[in-house]
Amino acid sequence: MSQRIVMIHATPLAVAPINDTFSKQWPEAEISNLLDDALSTDRAKVTEVSPRLNKRIHSLVEYAISIDAAAVLFTCSAFGSAIDDCARQHTLPVLKPNEAMFEAALEHGDDIVMLATFAPAVAGMEVEFRELASAKQSNAKMTAIVVAGARDALNVGDVALHNKLIIEAASQNQQADAIVLAHFSMEVAFESAQAAVTCPVLSSPQAAVAKLKRLMS
């Protein structure tokens, strides 16, 4: 039986963080990367996932299945409704990027702060968190903060500025029970952000790899 995990990316910024995380946490995993960087561009043009974008997400999952995927992991957090739709239609695991991290966040308490750098993803992630909290009968609330300028800095290769802005935002919100980093691309700031605050900082790539390892072991 194939144990190939196919990762579907909407931005090249997510590719290295999740591959590096697999190397650290689960080097034995067989992984494959699919990148459609027009997805992120097109998602930024609309307020919600359109029928055309939904169809593209489904097509990518079908392609992953055609190359013997045993599981599919999306690394862009702006397509939650389409990913949910795919997960309902297939028996193999089809994971949203943040579901494992949100599950972990609920174990830390009721006051969760989410730092994000890609504004179009935030509304869908807030809905996802509320639905998960409700399903688990949790009273947890999540406050989302968009870190202005961080994504632009990363897009032009200024990792230092990206990380500085995230560290500043984390430092201003360390009263939370946990801080979650919304996007896989933010993994580059994880260690610095955790070192700068006293509350736990949770990473979506780390949580996703840990969940996949549990599911497929």
The string of pLDDT tens digits covering residues 81-91 is 899 999 999 99
Answer yes or no: do 85 and 121 share one domain: no
Answer yes or no: do 13 and 73 share one domain: yes
What CATH number did the domain enclosing 89 receive? 3.40.50.1860
Domain that holds residue 153: 99-203
**Strands in 109-167 per DSSP E:** 111-116, 141-146
Answer yes or no: do 9 and 62 share one domain: yes
Answer yes or no: do 52 and 130 share one domain: no
Answer yes or no: do 184 and 113 share one domain: yes
Q: Are 41 and 105 in contact (CB under 8 A)?
A: no
What pLDDT does 77 receive?
79
**Alpha helices for 31-98 (secondary structure H):** 38-43, 51-66, 80-89
DSSP state of 101: H
Domains in the chain, number: 2
Answer yes or no: do 87 and 151 share one domain: no
Answer yes or no: do 84 and 49 share one domain: yes
Mean pLDDT, residues 5-27 taken together:
95
- CA-nearest of 43, 187, 46 to 115 is 187
Give yes or no for residue 1 having a pLDDT over 80.
no
Answer yes or no: do 144 and 117 share one domain: yes
Answer yes or no: do 121 and 197 share one domain: yes
What pLDDT does 88 receive?
95
Name the residue type at position 147. V
Answer yes or no: do 195 and 105 share one domain: yes
Answer yes or no: do 89 and 161 share one domain: no
For 156-214, the pLDDT digits (tens) are 999 999 999 999 999 999 999 999 999 999 999 999 999 999 999 999 999 999 999 99
Distance CA 62, CA 65 (A): 5
